Amino acid sequence: MNLIVKIILCVVIFNQVTFASDYPKSSLEREMDEMGSVVGGEGLVFRPNKQKSTATRAKVGNINKYLFDAAIEVLKFAPLASADSKSGTVITDWYNPQGQKNVQHKVIVYIKDEVITPEGLEVVAFERKKVKNEWSENNKSEAVSSVLEEKIIIKARNLYLQSSR
């Protein structure tokens, strides 16, 4: 009798799990599935093993306008040296991170695609430190680049979702 109860319980649980995934999704859930996710086990991964989605295509010249607007918005804390929507380039001037007067960063954002994807965006951050009243050579800062890239992609995705309402 105990074995029969276990078998029935397994069948019921299996059916619940199987049919729960067939439940109709809201339009927002479908849109999020189409765009993918920025939180993946391998960093920023959108739709692994699937074709590139063109749902977020919005051109200004040859670039995605949401990525460009998001880059400007995310980098608004730093003085901009240049921002060109036609080439998809945003460059900041050297700036001091909050509370660090002997450290400076400079950021260059390259938008390389018409679609919101991590592959369509490259963020290069440079860091220099002041030692004995002189600035060191410019070194790339992968940590700053990664954080800013993720923020820009999330902001671009949110701008896209807001515009489609």
Decide if 131 is inside a domain.
Answer: yes
Compute how many other C-beta atoms are within 10 angstroms of the C-beta atom of residue 162.
9
Decide if 2 is inside a domain.
Answer: no
Find the helix or strand (DSSP H, E) in which 147 lies: helix 142-163
Q: Quickly state the pLDDT bin for 128 (edges 50, 70, 90).
A: very high
Decide if 146 is inside a domain.
Answer: yes
Average pLDDT of the chain to the nearest whole number:
79
The overall pTM is greater than 0.85: no
Residue that wins the pLDDT comparison between 77 and 5: 77
Decide if 3 is inside a domain.
Answer: no
| 140 φ, ψ (degrees, to nearest 5) | -70, 140
SS3 54: coil
Running DSSP on this structure, what letter comes out for residue 95?
B
For 86-100, what is the mean pLDDT? 92
Quote the domain boundaries for residue 144.
59-164
Domain count, the chain: 1
